[in-house]
Amino acid sequence: MIFMRELKRSRKSLIIWSLVLAGLIIWLLSIFPQFAEGQKSMNDLFEAYPESMKQMFGMDRINLGTLIGFYGIEIYMMTTLLGSIYSALLASNILAKEENEKTIEFLLSKPVSRGRIVLEKLLAVVVNIVILNIVSTISSLIGFQFTKDADVPGKTFALLIIATLLLHLTFAAISFMLSSIMRKTRNTLSASLAIVIVTYFLNVMSGLSEDLDFLKYFSPFKYVDAANIINENMLEPIYITIMAAIILISISAAFIIYKKKDISV
């Protein structure tokens, strides 16, 4: 009951985010053929960029003239950031809104445990995120049809898709935990959005110089760096372990906190 209710409540938001993301992906991939034709002039333009700027966005390690390189910089960067924002906003709102909107009394009056409330809401978050990623993947495959002559390494593309999903689930888990702690959705939404934006800029700053390289360990965005995935054709086991640990700890904390939380009805 709770699971289906949450899917219905989040349906409009999911459709809007999916359409926007799909549109941007297909549009960007549709212009790649023209971009590839002007590769020489674009390379000359990128050469004029400061070295620090090229390092920030991985342009020093990825060839923008290839489809997978273009995908890694232009599209992957967009899907990871926008998808993380969506995931954080969705998860941060799903528990806290019951207290904020004074509907928690209705839920607790039903023959369901707090553990089941948390579980079904968590499942709704995961399903929404998976659907968004499926839409993103299908949109990418459609966009690739505009570039029939360009080859996309299947394994590398699959790794980028898996990395994106892991990143979204990581931010969703953190936000879900915050939603179990806070009572006001405004506070939860602000904190969750701040975590995504701050960690994104930590990732960007870590590429500025070797002195700031340590910042990458505080940013999940760095764990799924496109340049590393494309060049190494693998996901770093240590980063997968860290993200899995964050997800597991955050979700476990959400269950424990919500079960013991003093909920005023």
User: pLDDT-derived band of residue 183, with 50, 70 and 90 as boundaries?
Assistant: confident
C-beta of residue 92 within 8 angstroms of C-beta of residue 188: yes
Continuous H helices in 182-236 = 185-206, 220-223, 226-232
pTM across the whole model: 0.90
Q: What is the pLDDT of residues 219-234, one digit of tens each?
A: 999 999 998 899 889 9
Q: Is the pLDDT of residue 201 over 80?
A: yes
Q: What is the pLDDT of residues 2-17, one digit of tens each?
A: 889 889 999 999 999 9
Q: What is the pLDDT of residues 71-103, one digit of tens each?
A: 988 899 999 999 999 999 999 988 877 766 666
Q: What is the pLDDT of residues 227-261, one digit of tens each?
A: 889 988 999 999 999 999 999 999 999 999 988 87
User: pLDDT-derived band of residue 218, with 50, 70 and 90 as boundaries?
Assistant: confident
pLDDT of 152 reads 83
How far apart CA 125 and CA 134 sit, in angstroms, is: 14
Q: Show me where the domains of the chain are located.
A: 2-260
How far apart CA 227 and CA 181 sit, in angstroms, is: 36
